[in-house]
């Protein structure tokens, strides 16, 4: 989430007139994240989130994202629901951007997750994978293996200004992954961005998942690897095997991983680390002028990648194959 496009109050009021969600009482931008422009809306009917889709998000993908949230909620997953306007449409336009309103989820994200939070996330991720199994639409993951070469090319000339020899590290890792990337593992809908700020808790109970705008069709175990990167490292970038075991055990209570998926986890985790290293590096080097958002440190994922390069088997993540 972020704010790249400002919205004047009169423009927002005119946009909301097309919805049956009451009168606008207050709104404010949400400054976290790097992808879209998001606003918290308070109306006479309650609370909502307005998202303006910026240029990185293709308008062709929006039916997938919005339809997926409807589909998952219908199968019991607690996630935001797109609000239809008076014409029955989920998508509109405001401030020159495609825009949608979704319901507000109660809860807060956890800054310092414990093992119990990781267990709950693993379980929720597995439920998402099962709930998405019969979703009819497909979306190619543009930020998987095929997408890492153009990202590498985009930041190659300036990578070493962030970290000495970073360009060589990235190019070597990409070459390794092209040779070793797993094929033939179970696929389906994945969230692809289930970081702590996209998971809400009420007390110790997980209350919902948000931000499905990287969701796509890809290897299910790759989504697990993304979560290992996002949830199971400490602030000093050391891997916490207790958290890893909790997340993986929570996932496998709902959807057991096959021996092949477990064996592939080290390579998948390396790929996930490289993916976020690259996208953070591009954002770090090219954050739009005037954007009300602080880009995230790409070197966090450089350090995580170094850990994954030392892993010999899935046992190092906390489970046996």
Computed over every residue of the chain, the mean pLDDT equals 93
pLDDT single digits (tens) 77-118: 999 999 999 999 999 999 888 999 999 999 999 999 999 999
Q: CATH no. for residue 286?
A: 3.90.1200.10
Residue 178 is assigned to a structural domain of this protein: yes
Q: Are residues 194 and 301 in the same domain?
A: yes
Q: Which pLDDT belongs to residue 1?
A: 41
How many degrees, rounded to 5, is the angle at CA 83 between CA 77 and CA 86? 150
Are 43 and 156 part of one and the same domain? no
- If pLDDT is split at 50, 70 and 90, which confidence band does 281 have? very high
Mean pLDDT (whole number) for 177-203 = 97
CA distance 155 to 245: 35
197 assigned to some structural domain: yes
Among the three residues 48, 70, 103, which one is the final residue of a domain in this structure? 103
Residues 158 and 37 in one domain: no
Let me know if residue 42 belongs to a domain: yes
Q: What are phi and psi of 306, to 5 degrees?
A: -60, -40
Residues 141 and 241 grouped into a single domain: yes
Residue by residue, DSSP assigns 82-93 as BPP-TTS-S-EE
* Structure confidence at residue 321 (pLDDT): 63
As a whole number of angstroms, the distance between CA 6 and CA 83 comes to: 21
Q: Is the same domain home to 170 and 36? A: no
Could you tell me the CATH number of the domain that includes residue 68?
Answer: 3.30.200.20
Answer yes or no: do 85 and 197 share one domain.
no
- Considering the domain architecture, whether residues 151 and 84 belong to the same structural domain is answered as no
Q: Look at residue 152 in the predicted model and tell me its pLDDT.
A: 97
Point out the domain boundary residue: 77, 103, 129. 103
Which pLDDT value is given to residue 286?
Answer: 82
How far is it, in rounded angstroms, from Cα 121 to Cα 263? 21
Provide the pLDDT for residue 95: 87
Would you say residue 227 has pLDDT above 50? yes
| 56 in any annotated domain | yes
The range of the structural domain enclosing residue 290 comes to: 115-317
The verdict on residue 63 lying in a domain is yes
Percent of residues, the chain, with pLDDT higher than 90: 85
C-beta of residue 255 within 8 angstroms of C-beta of residue 248: no
**Residue 1: inside a domain, yes or no?**
no
| pLDDT value at 57 more than 80 | no
279 within some domain? yes
Average pLDDT over residues 184-203: 97
- Residue 108 carries which DSSP code? B
Mean pLDDT of 50-59: 83
Whether 292 has a pLDDT exceeding 80, the answer reads: no
**119 pLDDT higher than 80:** yes
The predicted-structure confidence for 29-51, as pLDDT tens digits, reads as follows 987 645 788 999 999 999 999 99
165 plus 194 within the same structural domain: yes
Are residue 139 and residue 189 in the same domain, yes or no? Answer: yes
- Report the half-sphere exposure of 20 (CA within 13 A, side-chain side): 6
* Domain co-membership, 152 together with 300: yes
**pLDDT confidence of 319, banded at 50, 70, 90?**
confident
pLDDT of residue 54: 82
Residues 68 and 187 reside in one and the same domain: no
Do the domain assignments include residue 35?
A: yes
Rounded to 10 degrees, the C-alpha dihedral 158/288/61/107 comes to 110
**Both 89 and 212 in a single domain?**
no
Q: Which pairs with CB-CB distance under 8 Å and at least 24 residues apart come from 136-143? A: 137/63, 137/64, 137/67, 137/68, 138/64, 138/217, 139/61, 139/64, 139/215, 139/216, 139/217, 140/216, 140/217, 141/190, 141/192, 141/216, 141/217, 141/218, 142/216, 143/192, 143/214, 143/275, 143/279
State how many domains the chain has.
2
How much is the average pLDDT of 127-155?
Answer: 97
Mean pLDDT to the nearest integer, 3-12: 80
């Amino acid at each position: 989430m972020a704010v790249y496009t400002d919205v004047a109050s009169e423009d927002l009021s005119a946009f909301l007139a097309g919805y049956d969600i009451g009168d606008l009482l207050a709104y404010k931008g949400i400054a976290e994240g790097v992808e879209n422009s998001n606003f918290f809306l308070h109306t006479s009917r309650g609370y909502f989130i307005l998202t303006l889709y910026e240029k990185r998000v293709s308008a062709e993908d929006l039916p997938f994202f919005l339809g997926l949230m409807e589909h998952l909620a219908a199968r019991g997953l607690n996630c935001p629901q797109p609000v239809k306007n008076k014409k029955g449409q989920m998508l509109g336009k405001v401030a020159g951007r495609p825009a949608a309103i979704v319901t507000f989820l109660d809860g807060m994200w956890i800054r310092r997750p414990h093992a119990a939070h990781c267990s709950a996330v693993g379980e929720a991720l597995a439920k998402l994978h099962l709930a998405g199994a019969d979703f009819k639409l497909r979306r190619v993951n543009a930020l998987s293996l095929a997408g890492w070469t153009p990202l590498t090319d985009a930041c190659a000339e300036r990578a070493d200004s962030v970290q000495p020899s970073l360009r060589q590290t990235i190019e070597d890792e990409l070459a390794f992954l092209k040779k070793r990337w797993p094929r033939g593992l179970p696929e389906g809908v994945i969230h692809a961005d289930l970081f702590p700020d996209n998971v809400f808790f009420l007390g110790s109970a997980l209350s919902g998942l948000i931000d499905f705008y990287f969701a796509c069709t890809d290897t299910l175990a790759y989504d697990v690897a993304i979560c290992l990167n996002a949830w199971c490292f400490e602030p000093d970038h050391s891997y916490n095997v207790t958290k890893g075991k909790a997340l993986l055990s929570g996932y496998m209570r709902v959807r057991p991983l096959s021996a092949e998926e477990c064996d592939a986890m080290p390579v998948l985790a390396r790929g996930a680390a490289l993916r976020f290293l690259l996208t953070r590096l591009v954002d770090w080097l090219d954050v739009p002028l005037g954007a009300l958002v602080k880009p995230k440190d790409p070197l966090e994922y450089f350090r995580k990648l170094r850990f994954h390069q030392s892993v010999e088997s899935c046992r190092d993540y906390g489970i046996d194959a």
